[in-house]
Structure 1
Amino acid sequence: MPTSPTGPPPADGLLSAARRNLRELAHGLSHASHPPAPPFAGSPSFWLRLLPYAVVLALTAVFVPVTIQVLANDYGVPGGIAAALAVGQAAPLLMLAHRPLQAWWIVFAADIAGALVLLGNAEQPQGTVWPWTPTVVVGYLFVLLALGLRENRRTVVGVWLATGAAGLLLHLAAPSRSDGSALLLPVLGALVLVIGQAVRERGEAQRRLVEQETISETERARRTLLEERTRIARELHDVVAHHMSVITVQADSAPYRIDGLSDEVREEFASIAAGARESLAEMRRLLSVLRSDGSRGELAPQPGLDRLQQLVEATVRAGLPVELSLAGQVRETVERGAVPPAVDLSAYRIVQEALANVVRHAPGAPTRVSVTVSDGHLTMLVVNGPTQQTGSPLEVSGTGHGLVGMRERVRLTGGTLDTGPLPDGGFRVSARLPLRPPSASLNPEDL
């Protein structure tokens, strides 16, 4: 089997790579890598949005007259030509806020034209530099700084190479006139471009970090919502499974409890029982998936309003002073079985989550739990005052499971939830759940 050569790459490969790099540099010099929008364009502060325009206006107002004075007085350039060169070299500074690359092209061409005009003088005035005048060097550095802050690395490298090549050609054209400014501008320009690129890349890294944090926060909130929905769906399916079991037993026992049933009715009851058993089997398979974590605690009967007293007593033993106000009408409603199982479970879980939030975020805060029944609705009110314990709370910023779970339970039962801080530093949770199912059927996808 022939082996591939290990020698140097062929010349045509190097040439093609060089041509490709030159094309990329040319593309970078001819196409801006950012939209024509000034820095801080999205800032809510009007003065911050105005700042780039104020800076470029001040630079232009300073450099145009200074450039005219330097060219006319120090270099002996006629007034008209000096004014034209000053406009070409300094007026494009107005474009640095939104189009720095286009401004560079104009300034670059005007600086070269200015060097050629100065070269046409019979002799160089004493104490002056060539090919780049002091105003050209300083103004050009501002242009390079704007490019470094806005353009990508490919464009910046192309600009620096073009600047160095222009200075080198002018130096070779008249080495006796050149006194070091041809080398000074590329050196200072490289420093300015590196600083600008470092600031730009740091800003890009911070922006990407903020975007990633935003995405992570969104995903975390979405995961929290899905976890709470899964938990609620698991509990609601337990309630549905109970009713399906009752339907199965009643359908199976109906022919034995009721005399004189015809064969068609018996077959109908048998069909109902078979369908209920099949649905119950599907329900159990679904529950086995939802309980894939292997938890055994959830196999216990689901709690309800009849266990609020035990919940409050357990919370008091945990160190939270809680008072429970359970209206007599609530007890009567629960004893009559007039509270739907989903509402009964949701009411208990909402109070449980509210008390857990108080323990986590305001330990020791006096808390009052009130449950009432009015106008066909069950209302739970949990109000806590400011924390009474010194030191930081157990959790400064929680995951949001508590409030998310409350909202989902209230939404699934067709109720309303009102939460918010109190003026004295406490917090309030108010939930209102209907005791009758809503007229609209529940969408199975919500579970």
Structure 2
Amino acid sequence: MRTPARAGQPLFAQAPKAWQRILPFAVVGVFVVTLLPVTIAVLSNDYALGGGWAGALGVAQTVPLLLAVTRPLHAWGVVLVADTIGGVLLIHADKVAAHAWPWTPMAIVGYLVLMACLGLRESIRTLVGVWLVTGGVGAVLGFFQPADTMNTAALLFVLGGVMLALTGALRGLGDAQQRIAEQESISEAERARRTLLEERARIARELHDVVAHHMSVITVQADSAPYRLPGMAEPVREEFAAIAASARESLGEMRRLLTVLRGDGAGGGADGERAPQPGIDRLQQLVEATVRAGQPVELSLAAGAAGAAPPAVDLSAYRIVQEALANVVRHAPGARTRVSVTVDEGEVLVLVVNGPARNAVVALEGSGTGHGLVGMRERVRLTGGTLDTGPLPDGGFRVAARLPLNAPSGTTPMNEEGS
């Protein structure tokens, strides 16, 4: 259910279907077309009110109901004035005795339609005010009640209150459900953003080991250069010493950053984070472990692929295959799966294709290291590559990644906010 409308909008303007948005106009239109001739006829024949007055009151009491779809409070003011004038005029009507007064049956029906529109639009304070004003006008007119008439002021007061209460409660329920839906939407967006940030932090932790290795090599080479190359001039020695000091300082900054990233305790503990990061050369072990778990997997690994990729691409290729196989185990248990890793024209091509699930799909408790496709996309962003995923016509699924061996300069995917 949705909130019926905002101020100035027609009732049900936010409804998802066209017929629902047209419905208020159709309902009110039917009441106006029905009540207008009946009101004129009853005022003329039953109450013996003059034809001119009967026509004017019939129009004034019914036509403003059309305004109730968009501005019910304005329509209520017009109709209340028209009904009050009608009650005053009927005091001197020739046949008012033994009839309803001050509100005629047609006026009561039209007024209840107006109350329904008000209840779906206005606040509780406004509805209470409308109800009290309706009762007050009826009470004041009661002092001038003609003899032998049936006073309908109390009837309209009670029926109007019931209608306002029902439609007001309906509107409150719609508002509550809309707020819940909006909150769920916000929560879902926050969960997606948190998942993305967690995945980026995990990738940063893993890449620390890759970068730290190279920085350590630079430090060792710079420190050992005077011993490996005797007779080095003093300015050259000082240059190598400065290089070693800068490398050690960079390593210290990286360790402090890693301490912050590990502060949540996630990622399997500090020991797991210090372990050597896997690469393409470990895919055979990964596939064998998946096969032992009952998943039929075939691996096609091009000759030389294991040593051709730089560390970041090497790690990303392994993690993409790992996440893809984890998704197959979760969502297509028993499906035959093919993993292919090749090197072609300066790119590492990773392809994981699985067929339809042979067994019933069950919800497994994931123990993977990432967040499925989110992790794959972030790793591909990191290397400046491309990722193509999607279902296959036979019910299977395909994951294809292209990872350039030399990432384009200026690529800073870890600082982007979208995915």
TM over 0.5: yes
- The 1-side partners of 2:95 and 2:24 are apart by 41
Q: Is the 8 A contact 1:305 1:348 kept in 2?
A: yes
Unaligned runs of 5+ in 1: 1-32
For 1:179-226, what per-residue CA distance to the aligned partner results, in whole angstroms no more than 9, with x for missing partners?
A: 241100010111101100110000001100100000000000000000
Q: 1:35 maps to what in 2?
A: 7
Q: Is the 8 A contact 2:305 2:341 kept in 1?
A: no
SS in 1 for 2:342: strand
Q: 1:76 maps to what in 2?
A: 48
Q: CA RMSD in A?
A: 2.1
Of 283, 307, 321 in structure 1, the residue corresponding to residue 296 of structure 2 is 321
SS in 2 for 1:76: coil
Moved more, 165-174 or 138-147: 165-174
After TM superposition, list the pairs within 5 Å mapping 1:22-421 onto structure 2.
Answer: 34-121=6-93, 124-126=96-98, 128-174=99-145, 176=147, 178-292=149-263, 293=265, 294-328=269-303, 332-335=304-307, 338-390=308-360, 392-394=362-364, 401-421=371-391
CA positional deviation for 1:393? 4.1
1:244 and 1:57, CA in 2 relative to 1: closer, same or farther beyond 3 A? same
Q: Is the 8 A contact 2:333 2:357 kept in 1?
A: yes
Unaligned runs of 5+ in 2: none
Residue 298 of structure 2 aligns to which amino acid in structure 1?
E
SS in 2 for 1:96: helix
SS in 2 for 1:430: strand
- The 1-side partners of 2:97 and 2:402 are apart by 90
CA positional deviation for 1:116? 0.3
- The 2-side partners of 1:35 and 1:348 are apart by 56
- The 2-side partners of 1:288 and 1:269 are apart by 29
CA positional deviation for 1:391? 5.5
For 1:390-446, what per-residue CA distance to the aligned partner results, in whole angstroms no more than 9, with x for missing partners?
A: 3644379x9x92111111110011000011111121111111100112133537745
For 1:121-150, what per-residue CA distance to the aligned partner results, in whole angstroms no more than 9, with x for missing partners?
A: 256244x11111000111100000110011
For 1:209-266, what per-residue CA distance to the aligned partner results, in whole angstroms no more than 9, with x for missing partners?
A: 1000000000000000000000011111221111111110010011111133110010
- The 1-side partners of 2:277 and 2:416 are apart by 21
Residue 295 of structure 2 aligns to which amino acid in structure 1?
L
Q: Is the 8 A contact 2:389 2:397 kept in 1?
A: yes
List 4+ stretches of structure 1 deviating above 6 A.
Answer: none
- The 1-side partners of 2:381 and 2:166 are apart by 54
Residue 291 of structure 1 aligns to which amino acid in structure 2?
R
For 1:275-324, what per-residue CA distance to the aligned partner results, in whole angstroms no more than 9, with x for missing partners?
A: 11111111112112222214422221000000001101111111211111
For 1:32-91, what per-residue CA distance to the aligned partner results, in whole angstroms no more than 9, with x for missing partners?
A: x94211123234533332222222222211111111111111111111111110111000
- The 2-side partners of 1:188 and 1:248 are apart by 88
Of 403, 428, 431 in structure 1, the residue corresponding to residue 398 of structure 2 is 428
1:159 and 1:395, CA in 2 relative to 1: closer, same or farther beyond 3 A? farther
Q: Is the 8 A contact 1:252 1:270 kept in 2?
A: yes
- The 1-side partners of 2:365 and 2:142 are apart by 69
Q: Is the 8 A contact 2:384 2:411 kept in 1?
A: no
- The 2-side partners of 1:109 and 1:125 are apart by 23
1:105 and 1:115, CA in 2 relative to 1: closer, same or farther beyond 3 A? same
1:44 and 1:199, CA in 2 relative to 1: closer, same or farther beyond 3 A? closer
Q: Is the 8 A contact 1:228 1:405 kept in 2?
A: yes
- Number of residue pairs aligned between Structure 1 and Structure 2: 408
